[in-house]
């Protein structure tokens, strides 16, 4: 592995975070506060370092293995730098600042700040920006902005695939859709009754399926004040969890092509099925009124399944049945190539369909060739193996971390499973265990889950690749 290639690439990508940080002191000045010196200094250091590295040039194209290393390092350094800035800015505990930053950049939305309403507008905006830029992917912007495309392309492919013939055009398309939805969502939020400051913060965390809010009760107080705004919130949570390829068809009004997407149709069906189940559970098991069950059932299942993490009520007070239904929604998550987390709907469909494919082969005495497909997409042996391996790893990790977290946090297994699934899927819904009162060991278990979930176990594969790189025999 060439550090002369890895280190410059890491710092070049961190230039994007430096550009983001300068917005904090600018907002401070606009809102009448003393500009943040820690954020200003951190921004200038990152921008200067990135400029020097870009001007000096890179040490050659990085390998796929080095791209994995870069992605893993970047997603640790970004929250670490943010944590130092927050610690120096308003004296936040460094561990809590790191937790908050990991939660932000991974698009999870957990918070360990006791009262977010006491924060300056610039810091509230920074929390929202972490989610917005983190879920778009700093690498997407790096591909567009930085000239060293041949290197950034490798890193980009670690996080996302290609929807167009080239990575550059795909990155531009993704960013264009993201910016468009953010702008339209901002207008609809304002029309729905939000203030401009509420709207800009919440549309960033909605379209990023992040879920952080500028209020302690998530979006409950906003919806209570202006009920119609719940509709655009629901709409943009669902849009944020869609495959960017399907969003392209939606925006260009190619609805026929959109409805041919197996993942899109399955996702809408699952969302309707799970929402209906949660409505019934809240009404018959939890004893909510029918109207409250419908509102809370639809809203929280959409919030959980899209991995956004907004809430209207205290989820710690609902029954284990309702928690289990939300757990299933969070476990599956959103669509592939979206800002959502979880196992992903496409993988879930393939895993379920594989039961039928296997049963068909077992039910006949003669060799049977089964045509495997999801919608119009054929499923090769390689894809099937990858999907089943990832799904097994995801579920095993989820259960293992839940057992560990249950012991550390001294809570019931269902509550621990809920919190870990929320962290691993980068959701942010909580039954109240994850908070500023959680012990340090518990916080680091959640940090590990968020970090693993954001990069879909790239770190795990990286370790395996390092351990077995000399033991694998290539057969020509």
Of 181, 205, 240, the residue that ends a domain is 240
Q: Which domain holds residue 185?
A: 3-240
Q: Are residues 89 and 190 in the same domain?
A: yes
pLDDT tens for 31-78 read 999 999 999 999 999 999 888 877 776 556 777 777 778 888 888 999
**pTM of full prediction above 0.75:** yes
Q: How far apart are CA 321 and CA 153, in angstroms?
A: 45
pLDDT tens for 217-246 read 999 999 999 999 999 999 999 999 999 999
Among 66-70, 117-121, 147-151, name the one with the lowest average pLDDT: 147-151
Q: Which of 351, 11, 27, 385 is nearest to 200 (CA)?
A: 27
Q: Are residues 225 and 235 in the same domain?
A: yes
Q: How far apart are CA 382 and CA 380, in angstroms?
A: 5
Q: Are residues 188 and 262 in the same domain?
A: no
Of 207, 240, 273, the residue that ends a domain is 240
The token duo for 135 is 């879920």
Q: How far apart are CA 443 and CA 439, in angstroms?
A: 6
Q: Are residues 345 and 411 in the same domain?
A: yes
Is 109 within 8 Å of 423 (Cβ atoms)?
no
Q: Are residues 232 and 249 in the same domain?
A: no
Q: Are residues 102 and 15 in the same domain?
A: yes
Q: Are residues 193 and 214 in the same domain?
A: yes
Q: Are residues 61 and 124 in the same domain?
A: yes
Q: Are residues 335 and 433 in the same domain?
A: yes
Q: Which of 102, 129, 239 is nearest to 178 (CA)?
A: 239
Q: Which of 354, 447, 407 is nearest to 100 (CA)?
A: 447
Q: Are residues 234 and 251 in the same domain?
A: no
Q: How far is CA 364 from CA 140, 155, 220, 359, in A?
A: 48, 45, 55, 9
pLDDT tens for 428-437 read 999 999 999 9
Of 213, 240, 267, the residue that ends a domain is 240
**Structural domain total, the chain:** 2
Q: How far apart are CA 168 and CA 247, in angstroms?
A: 18
Asked if residue 333 has pLDDT above 70, the reply is: yes
Helix, strand, or coil (residue 365): coil
Q: Are residues 192 and 253 in the same domain?
A: no
Average pLDDT over residues 347-353: 93
Contacts of residue 401, Cβ cutoff 8 Å, sequence gap at least 6: 420, 424, 445, 448, 449
Q: How far is CA 165 from CA 177, 247, 307, in A?
A: 17, 18, 29
Residue in the block written with tokens 């702008």? 183
Q: Are residues 340 and 221 in the same domain?
A: no
Is 314 within 8 Å of 302 (Cβ atoms)?
no
Q: Is 33 left (phi over 0), alpha (psi -120 to 50) or beta?
A: beta
């Amino acid at each position: 592995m060439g550090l002369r290639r890895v280190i410059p690439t890491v710092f070049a990508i961190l230039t994007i975070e430096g550009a983001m940080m300068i917005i904090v002191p600018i907002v401070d000045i606009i809102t009448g506060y003393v500009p943040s010196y820690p954020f200003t200094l951190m921004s200038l250091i990152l921008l200067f370092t990135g400029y020097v590295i870009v001007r000096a040039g890179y040490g050659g194209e990085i390998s796929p293995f080095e791209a994995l290393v870069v992605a893993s390092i970047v997603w640790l350094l970004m929250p670490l730098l943010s944590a130092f800035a927050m610690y120096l800015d308003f004296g936040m505990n460094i561990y809590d600042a790191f937790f908050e930053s990991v939660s932000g950049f991974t698009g999870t939305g957990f918070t360990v700040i006791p009262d977010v309403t006491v924060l300056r507008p610039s810091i509230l905006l920074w929390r929202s920006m972490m989610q917005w830029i983190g879920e778009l992917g700093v690498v997407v912007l790096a591909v567009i902005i930085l000239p060293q495309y041949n290197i950034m392309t490798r890193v980009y492919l670690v996080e996302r695939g290609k929807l167009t013939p080239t990575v550059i055009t795909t990155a531009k398309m993704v960013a264009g859709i993201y910016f468009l939805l953010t702008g339209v969502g901002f207008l609809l939020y304002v029309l729905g009754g939000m203030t401009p400051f509420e709207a800009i913060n919440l549309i960033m965390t909605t379209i990023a399926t992040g879920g952080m809010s500028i209020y302690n009760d998530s979006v409950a107080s906003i919806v209570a004040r202006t009920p119609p705004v719940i509709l655009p919130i629901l709409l943009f949570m669902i849009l944020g969890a869609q495959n960017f390829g399907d969003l392209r068809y939606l925006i260009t009004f190619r609805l026929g092509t959109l409805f041919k997407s197996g993942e899109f149709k399955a996702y809408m069906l699952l969302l309707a099925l799970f929402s209906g189940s949660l409505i019934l559970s809240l009404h018959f098991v939890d004893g909510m009124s029918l109207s409250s069950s419908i509102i809370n059932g639809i809203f929280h299942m959409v919030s959980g399944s899209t991995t956004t993490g907004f809430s209207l009520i205290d989820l710690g007070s609902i029954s284990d049945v309702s928690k289990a239904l939300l757990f299933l929604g969070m476990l599956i998550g959103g669509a592939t190539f979206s800002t959502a987390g979880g196992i992903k709907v496409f993988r879930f469909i393939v895993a379920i369909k594989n039961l039928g494919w296997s049963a068909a082969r077992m039910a006949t005495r003669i060799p049977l060739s089964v045509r495997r497909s999801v919608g119009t997409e054929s499923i090769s042996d390689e894809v099937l193996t990858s999907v089943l391996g990832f799904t097994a790893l995801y579920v095993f990790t989820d259960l293992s971390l839940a057992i560990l977290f249950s012991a550390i946090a001294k809570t019931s297994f269902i509550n621990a499973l809920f919190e870990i699934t929320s962290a691993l899927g980068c959701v942010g819904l909580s039954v109240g265990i994850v908070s500023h009162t959680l012990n340090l060991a518990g916080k680091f278990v959640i940090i590990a889950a968020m970090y693993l979930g954001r990069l879909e176990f790239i770190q795990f594969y990286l370790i395996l690749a390092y351990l077995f790189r000399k033991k694998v025999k290539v057969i020509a």
